[in-house]
């Protein structure tokens, strides 16, 4: 019998997955998987469990939680040489990666993706040595996920991100930065940058509809510093999936990106990786092509 390890965050989203584990285990068992559980009761539990596990013991890992939980598991796997396919049961708030991969929210159907779906290669980003799968971001809205009260976030879902984000607009300041890729250098004042491995983040699911999780390239999007009224128009365009061709946007694809702050206010040096606090700027980001394998629907 094949062995599968299910990591789950009991505090993600509406906290309901812990009451429905049997649905997933039933699907796995009927497909011939012996299922072992790891409950992420406190920070570090998932990473520590992976670090202490023989890399060759399991045939697959499954992560139930949001993008942050997936990020923690992926970092632990890459840091400790675990090369097994990863399945996702989305149970967080935004679930950006699962949305991009078209993984169903219904638990039994998500579990079926792992037993009956296909395994695809997935690029991984390295930001100053910290891995990410979905996004590395900086500037406006970057620390929204970390600042939102957990209960508020779980109650209002994606809408909580928008409310907290709008609250940041009153103190908005442009960020002078130097952006370097494989061929060009940009010096610009921006409000926000996104380095996307998939098509969206924070519930904006199709910011960059041409993205691919396995092409070896990132989609880079930065919003130039402009009057607030123009920023509002850009937000509307973002919702309408019509932003990358706007003149107020810096957009390119590349496998290497460096962002250097040309300012001294350290509160803006923080970055975000997959909804978790990331490394401080300056930041060098490299695409590690096809470093993970992920279950996707057929």
Q: Any idea which residue has 């990473």 for tokens?
A: 47
Low-confidence ranges of the chain (pLDDT < 70): 141-172, 202-206, 232, 235-242, 265-268
Structural domain of residue 253, as residue ranges? 130-288
- Is residue 264 annotated as part of the catalytic site, yes or no? no
Q: For residue 206, give the nearest of 65, 69, 70, 99 by alpha carbon.
A: 99
Q: What is the structure's pLDDT at 7?
A: 97
Q: Is 112 among the domain residues?
A: yes
Q: What is the structure's pLDDT at 43?
A: 82
Q: Is 123 among the domain residues?
A: no
Of the residues 59, 81, 116, which one is the last residue of a structural domain?
Answer: 116
Rounded Cα distance, 235 and 207, in Å: 11
Q: What is the structure's pLDDT at 225?
A: 86
Rounded to 10 degrees, the C-alpha dihedral 167/173/177/181 comes to 30
Q: Is 97 among the domain residues?
A: yes
Q: What is the structure's pLDDT at 268?
A: 62
88 with 148, same domain?
A: no
Q: Is 122 among the domain residues?
A: no
15 with 105, same domain?
A: yes
Of the residues 71, 89, 116, which one is the last residue of a structural domain?
Answer: 116
- Cis peptide, bond prior to residue 71, ω within 30 of zero: no
171 with 268, same domain?
A: yes
Give the total number of structural domains in the chain. Answer: 2
User: Which residue among 41, 276, 280, 284 is the active-site one?
Assistant: 276
98 with 183, same domain?
A: no
């Amino acid at each position: 019998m094949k062995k599968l390890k299910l990591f789950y965050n009991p505090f993600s989203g509406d906290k309901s997955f812990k009451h429905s584990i049997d649905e997933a285990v039933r699907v796995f068992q009927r497909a011939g998987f012996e299922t072992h559980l790891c409950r992420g009761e406190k920070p570090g539990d998932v990473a520590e469990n992976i670090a202490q596990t023989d890399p060759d013991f399991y045939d697959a890992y499954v992560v139930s939680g949001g993008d942050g939980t997936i990020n923690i598991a992926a970092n632990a796997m890459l840091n400790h040489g675990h090369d097994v396919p990863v399945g996702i049961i989305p149970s967080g708030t935004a679930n950006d990666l699962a949305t991009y991969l078209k993984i169903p929210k219904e638990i039994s159907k998500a579990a079926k993706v792992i037993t009956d779906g296909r395994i695809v290669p997935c690029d991984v980003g390295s930001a100053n040595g910290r891995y990410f799968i979905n996004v590395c971001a900086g500037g406006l809205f970057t620390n929204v996920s970390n600042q939102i009260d957990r209960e508020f976030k779980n109650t209002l879902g994606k809408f909580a991100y928008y409310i907290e984000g709008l609250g940041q607009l009153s103190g908005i300041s442009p960020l002078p930065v130097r952006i370097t890729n494989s061929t060009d250098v940009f010096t610009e004042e921006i409000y926000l940058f996104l380095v996307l491995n998939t098509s969206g983040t924070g519930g904006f699911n199709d910011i960059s509809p041409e993205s691919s999780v396995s092409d070896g390239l990132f989609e880079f999007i930065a919003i130039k510093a402009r009057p607030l009224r123009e920023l509002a128009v850009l937000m509307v365009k973002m919702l309408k999936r019509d932003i990358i061709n706007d003149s107020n946007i810096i957009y390119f694809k590349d496998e290497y990106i460096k962002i250097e702050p040309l300012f001294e206010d350290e509160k803006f040096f923080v970055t975000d990786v997959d909804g978790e606090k990331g490394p401080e700027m300056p930041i060098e980001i490299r695409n590690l092509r096809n470093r993970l394998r992920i279950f996707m629907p057929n």
